[in-house]
């Protein structure tokens, strides 16, 4: 029973995945906005917990598990609709 439930969750996450020119993206289930915004940063730490609400951004932000197509590096893509939030993230983010 548990194995089938896990399979269903993984299967539904794979269905939501999509590919852009630069990344294969898997949306975080915690996203309030599942959009890819203009301002982006790739974080090469796939297992680091990134709690977007704790940054208190002025605009919208979204988080994706990501595979960078150029080198197949796994990580996370954080996107923002405001450039000031990108700068704030870059200044405050410290990987575990």
**pLDDT tens per residue across span 65-88:** 999 999 999 999 999 999 999 999
Name the residue range of residue 63's domain: 2-92
**For 38, which DSSP code?**
S
Domain count, the chain: 1
**CA-wise closest residue to 22 among 63, 77, 89, 61:** 77
Task: Tell me the pLDDT band of 10, cut-offs 50, 70 and 90.
Answer: very low
| Per-residue confidence (pLDDT) for residue 2, from 0 to 100 | 44
């Amino acid at each position: 029973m548990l194995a089938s439930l896990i399979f269903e969750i993984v299967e539904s996450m794979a269905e939501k995945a999509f590919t852009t020119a630069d990344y294969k993206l898997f949306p975080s289930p915690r996203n309030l906005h599942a959009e890819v915004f203009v301002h982006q940063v790739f974080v090469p730490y796939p297992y680091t917990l990134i709690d977007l609400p704790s940054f208190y951004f002025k605009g919208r932000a979204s988080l994706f598990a990501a595979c960078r197509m150029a080198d197949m590096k796994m990580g996370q893509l954080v996107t923002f609709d405001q450039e000031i939030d990108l700068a704030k993230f870059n200044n405050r983010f410290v990987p575990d």
